[in-house]
Amino acid sequence: MRTALITGANRGIGLAIAAGLHRLAGIKVLVGSRRHAEGEKAAKALGENAVPVQLDLSESENLSRQVNSIVDKHGAVDILVNNAGVLESGNLLDIGRDKLNHSLQVNFLGPLELIRQLVPGMNTRGYGRIVNVSSGWVPSPRDCPVPLLTPSVRLR
């Protein structure tokens, strides 16, 4: 049985991806959510072979510990779907550093950290799939929102 980890899977597109993977036979779905109760609810709705796992991408300091604990508890991850994201709006010239750092952490550095942690195991086992869900929204340079700076899809 393959194991898939989907970040931000408690709602929205992440939940839809989790449901889609869950429908496929032979895939255990790890429903990532930053608030465990939300993940529990979503996993319960999906049913057997859907397991809630807590994963907060904004916690840069202990992100690797969170991932290690998921792997220790649920086994190796074969499929990683980097779906979680935040959309901070604002003008690039004056958006606050906190918002910018948060966006970079959740949309880019967090997903990159997950890839860096999980790819070596995928290589060793000879199987791995990574999907990066991203966004781009560029109405004009003046109004350019933060997601343009943090396109996780550019990892590939």
Ligand X SMILES: NC(=O)c1ccc[n+]([C@@H]2O[C@H](COP(=O)([O-])OP(=O)(O)OC[C@H]3O[C@@H](n4cnc5c(N)ncnc54)[C@H](OP(=O)(O)O)[C@@H]3O)[C@@H](O)[C@H]2O)c1
Nearer to ligand X, 121 or 151 (CB): 151
Q: Residue for token digits 């086994």?
A: 75
d(CA 130, CA 12): 19
Give the count of beta carbons closer than 10 Å to the beta carbon of residue 128. 19
Q: How far is the CB of 84 from ligand X (least distance, A)?
A: 3
Residue with smaller CB distance to ligand X, 96 or 125: 96
Separation between Cα atoms, residue 118 and residue 139, nearest integer Å: 35
Q: Which residue among 4, 5, 6, 7 contacts ligand X (CB under 6 A)?
A: 7
Closest CB 5 distance from ligand X, rounded Å: 12
Query: What's the min distance (Å) between Cβ of 131 and ligand X?
Result: 11
Q: Which of residues 94-153 bind ligand X (CB under 6 A)?
A: 106, 133-135
The torsion angles phi and psi of 121, rounded to 5 degrees, stand at -65, -40
Judged by CB under 6 A, the number of residues near ligand X is 23
Judge whether 6 and 14 are in contact, CB under 8 Å: yes
Answer yes or no whether residue 34 interacts with ligand X by CB under 6 A: yes
